[in-house]
Amino acid sequence: MLKMLSVALLALGLASCSQVGGGEYFPLEEGKQWDYQLNFVMPDGKNKKELTIRTVGSSSFKTEEDEIKGMVRRTSDGTDYLVQEREDGFYRVGKRVIVQTKPQADKAPRLILPKGRNLRVGYTWTMDTSPYVAHWMPPFIEANASIKPFDMVYEIASLDDTVETPAGVFQKCVRVDGMGKMVFYADASAGYQEILINHSEWYAPGVGLVKLERDEPLDTSIMKGGKVTMVLSSFMD
């Protein structure tokens, strides 16, 4: 489940929003490290995990068409994400899991957080995502395997949130809200079911992601969901 989250992931008063263009909300300098506490609330009980993300430096890899460059953010479960900072935002452009020898390019750059003139309340974008905690129950898991990705609409909801975490209190945070609909086939009598997924992220200037919440409200005989909260416990600059 930790791997599911870190994959879906990618994924943490200092400075006034009017003083920055957005780069300070997703720092990529080599050596920075973020430690997170993950709390899962599931229908069958609660669970806690820890996750560390560290920027290990710049890297590149070649595809058939191009050479892709970026900064590598490595998670404690051994997953590498290649991130590019562009004029309009931060994009994930590749990923390597622990069993792969080299990164695989994303089909299209995945916007993580906008910057510049796009970092404004009301700005929206759409990306596909996968469930963080929702999963099939036996014996349905064998027939359905993984849950299909679904589209989520993200919106810059605030530029002035205050967030309290074990690592401290962060002001002037950017809040990103996401909403998506996950559709799955229940059975012949119930047909297709539509579940509303809510997602929020908070980014602090000079630090990055300090909090994440994801609610996947599912509690049926064939599929279970839950809620996950991810908060910053420490940050090494």
Each residue's pLDDT, cut to its tens digit, for the chain (237 residues) gives 544 454 444 443 333 333 335 679 999 999 999 999 999 998 878 899 999 999 999 999 888 888 999 999 999 999 999 999 999 999 999 999 988 888 899 999 999 999 999 999 999 999 999 888 888 777 766 544 567 889 999 999 999 999 999 999 999 999 999 999 998 776 666 677 888 999 999 999 999 999 999 999 988 777 888 999 999 999 998
Tokens encoding 96: 């390597």
Predicted pLDDT at 193: 80
Contact between 147 and 184 under an 8 Å Cβ cutoff? The reply is: yes
pLDDT the model gives residue 189: 64
How many whole angstroms separate alpha carbon 72 and alpha carbon 122? 30
> What string of DSSP letters covers the chain?
-HHHHHHH--------GGG--SGGGS---TT-EEEEEEEEEETTEEEEEEEEEEEEEEEEEE-SS-EEEEEEEEETTS-EEEEEEETTEEEEEEEE-TT-SS-EEEEEEEEEEE-GGG-STT-EEEEEE--SS-EEPTTHHHHH-SPPPEEEEEEEEEEEEEEEETTEEEEEEEEEEEEEEEEEEEETTTEEEEEEEEEEEEEETTTEEEEEEEEEEEE-SSEEEEEEEEEEEEEE-
Q: What is the reported pLDDT for 136?
A: 77
How much is the pLDDT for 162? 98
For residue 22, the model assigns a pLDDT of 64
Residue 119: alpha-carbon gap to chain centroid: 18
CA distance 94 to 79: 11
Prediction pTM value: 0.87
The reported pLDDT for the residue numbered 190 is: 64
Q: What is the pLDDT of residue 49?
A: 94
CA 179/CA 182 separation, integer angstroms: 10
